[in-house]
């Protein structure tokens, strides 16, 4: 979603009463892509599969109410910037305060006034698109168009703490293009820049939505922050990434690994923080595994997993 295609925005409506979903749907269906959930837990499951641009949520729902849903989203770095608008029939100031304290961006009272709902949604989507555009300038690497080191440094600690608190798998993968200095010396820096762009694109397209992000760590090094991925799936993804880079068929006459540009990687996954108290400890270990891959001949992945029951 950008400022120029707000009509492509994904709106998630969360309410346990179908009639309320129906009303909101008809107020917005001509303008946005609408999705629906009948509970807070169903909404969370939806967010893990595809990220909505805005959420409209009832306050009073069984199992997980709207306030709990909003708090859960705002406490997760992956979803904290999604605007949440409560649609509620509350009348007292204490109810309003509860919504704000849960992290709400706005609220609309029932019965729904369709023009009011549409304009509130439009306003918050516009603000989010503007914010996203600014973040692109601040957090994207100008060459490869993936996240930069600054974004990694500002987000990785919070993601790590969140995963450890919820006992969700967390991983760090360090990638390095094999003999890239020799590549630059042999072909020149302009060709080297094009190589970096192609490799970053090949890796990034194989990272599933909501399974973390790829950032340029420095020079020819990339780092993948891995979220909620099993050991078997991560290994399969890493094999696919290595193959995808090789399949680019970027000639590398200065390499001893073969005819084409190749990757080495070090990967570490953990399920709790008993052994790794700081994110720097994980980065150090993933980097050590990367150098182990290089020492063993490059064009390979060294993998480790630490699960303390």
Average pLDDT of the segment spanning 271-281 = 82
Same domain, 108 and 175: no
∠ CA(178), CA(301), CA(250), 5° rounding? 35
Q: What is the pLDDT of residue 2?
A: 54
Same domain, 278 and 158: yes
* Within a domain: 144: no
Please identify which residue in the block is written with the tokens 């700081």.
Answer: 278
User: Which residue numbers are catalytic?
Assistant: 220
Of the residues 105, 134, 163, the one at which a domain ends: 134
pLDDT digits (tens, 9 = 90+) for 22-69: 999 999 999 999 999 999 999 999 998 889 999 999 999 988 999 999
Long-range contacts of 14-20 (CB under 8 A, 24+ apart): 14/38, 14/39, 14/40, 14/42, 14/43, 14/55, 14/56, 14/57, 14/58, 14/61, 14/66, 14/69, 15/57, 15/58, 15/61, 15/87, 16/58, 16/61, 16/62, 17/58, 20/58, 20/87, 20/110, 20/112
pLDDT digits (tens, 9 = 90+) for 105-158: 999 988 899 999 999 999 999 999 999 888 888 999 999 999 999 999 999 998
Same domain, 22 and 163: no
Same domain, 72 and 174: no
Asked if omega into 111 is within 30° of 0 (cis), the reply is yes
Of the residues 66, 100, 134, the one at which a domain ends: 134
- The whole-angstrom distance between residue 308's C-alpha and the CA centroid of its chain comes to 26
pLDDT digits (tens, 9 = 90+) for 198-254: 999 999 999 987 789 999 999 999 999 999 898 899 999 999 999 999 999 999 999
Same domain, 116 and 164: no
Distant-in-sequence, close-in-space partners of 91: CB < 8 Å, separation ≥ 6 = none
Q: What is the pLDDT of residue 1?
A: 58
Please give the model's pTM, rounded to 2 decimal places: 0.76
Range of the structural domain that residue 261 is part of: 149-306
* Within a domain: 123: yes
Q: How many domains does the chain have?
A: 2
> Cα–Cα distance between 19 and 283 in angstroms, integer?
50
* Within a domain: 139: no
Same domain, 121 and 218: no
Q: What is the pLDDT of residue 95?
A: 86
> Cα–Cα distance between 106 and 136 in angstroms, integer?
25
CB atoms within 10 A of CB 12: 23
- The continuous run of DSSP H or E covering 216 comes out as strand 212-218
* Within a domain: 280: yes
Assign residue 86 the CATH number of its domain: 3.40.50.2300
Same domain, 56 and 154: no
Q: Is the separation of the CB atoms in 66 and 57 below 8 Å?
A: yes
**Per-residue tokens: 45:** 């499951």
> Cα–Cα distance between 283 and 191 in angstroms, integer?
29
Q: Is the separation of the CB atoms in 25 and 31 below 8 Å?
A: no
Same domain, 268 and 154: yes
Residue 188 DSSP symbol: -
Same domain, 115 and 34: yes
| Phi, then psi, of 55 in degrees rounded to 5 | -125, 130
> Cα–Cα distance between 210 and 73 in angstroms, integer?
13
* Within a domain: 61: yes
Residue 91 burial class via C-beta count within 10 angstroms: exposed 0-12, middle 13-18, buried 19 and up: exposed
* Within a domain: 143: no
Of the residues 134, 165, 189, the one at which a domain ends: 134
* Within a domain: 68: yes
**Per-residue tokens: 260:** 């084409």
Q: Is the separation of the CB atoms in 70 and 84 below 8 Å?
A: yes
* Within a domain: 140: no
Same domain, 249 and 103: no
| Phi, then psi, of 78 in degrees rounded to 5 | -70, -25
Same domain, 221 and 302: yes
Same domain, 113 and 245: no
Assign residue 270 the CATH number of its domain: 3.30.70.270
């Amino acid at each position: 979603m950008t400022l120029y295609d707000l009509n492509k925005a994904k709106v998630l409506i969360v309410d346990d009463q179908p009639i309320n979903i129906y009303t909101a749907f008809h107020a917005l269906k001509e303008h946005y892509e609408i999705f629906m959930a009948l509970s807070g837990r169903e909404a969370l499951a939806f967010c893990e599969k595809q990220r909505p641009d805005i959420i409209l949520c009832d306050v009073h729902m069984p199992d997980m109410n709207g306030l709990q849903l909003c708090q859960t989203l705002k406490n997760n770095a992956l979803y904290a910037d999604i605007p949440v608008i409560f649609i509620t029939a509350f009348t007292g100031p204490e109810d309003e305060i509860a919504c704000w304290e849960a992290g709400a961006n706005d609220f609309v009272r029932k019965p729904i006034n369709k023009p009011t709902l549409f304009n509130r949604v439009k306003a918050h989507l516009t603000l989010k698109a503007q914010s996203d555009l600014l973040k692109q300038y601040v957090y994207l690497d100008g060459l490869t168009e993936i996240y930069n080191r600054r974004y990694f440094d500002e987000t990785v600690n919070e993601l790590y703490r969140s995963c450890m608190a919820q006992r969700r798998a967390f991983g760090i993968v360090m990638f390095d293009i094999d003999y890239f200095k020799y590549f630059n010396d042999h072909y020149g820096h302009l060709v080297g820049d094009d190589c970096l762009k192609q490799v970053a694109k090949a890796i990034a397209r194989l990272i599933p939505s909501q399974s973390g992000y790829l950032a340029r760590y420095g020079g020819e090094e990339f780092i993948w922050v891995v979220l909620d991925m099993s050991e078997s799936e991560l290994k399969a993804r890493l094999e696919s990434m290595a193959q995808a880079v090789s399949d680019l068929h970027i000639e590398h006459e200065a390499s001893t690994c073969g005819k084409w540009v190749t990757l080495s990687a070090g990967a570490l996954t953990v399920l709790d923080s008993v052994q790794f108290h700081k994110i720097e400890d994980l980065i150090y270990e993933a980097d050590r595994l990367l150098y182990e891959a290089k020492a063993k001949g490059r064009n390979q992945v060294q993998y480790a997993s630490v699960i303390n029951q």
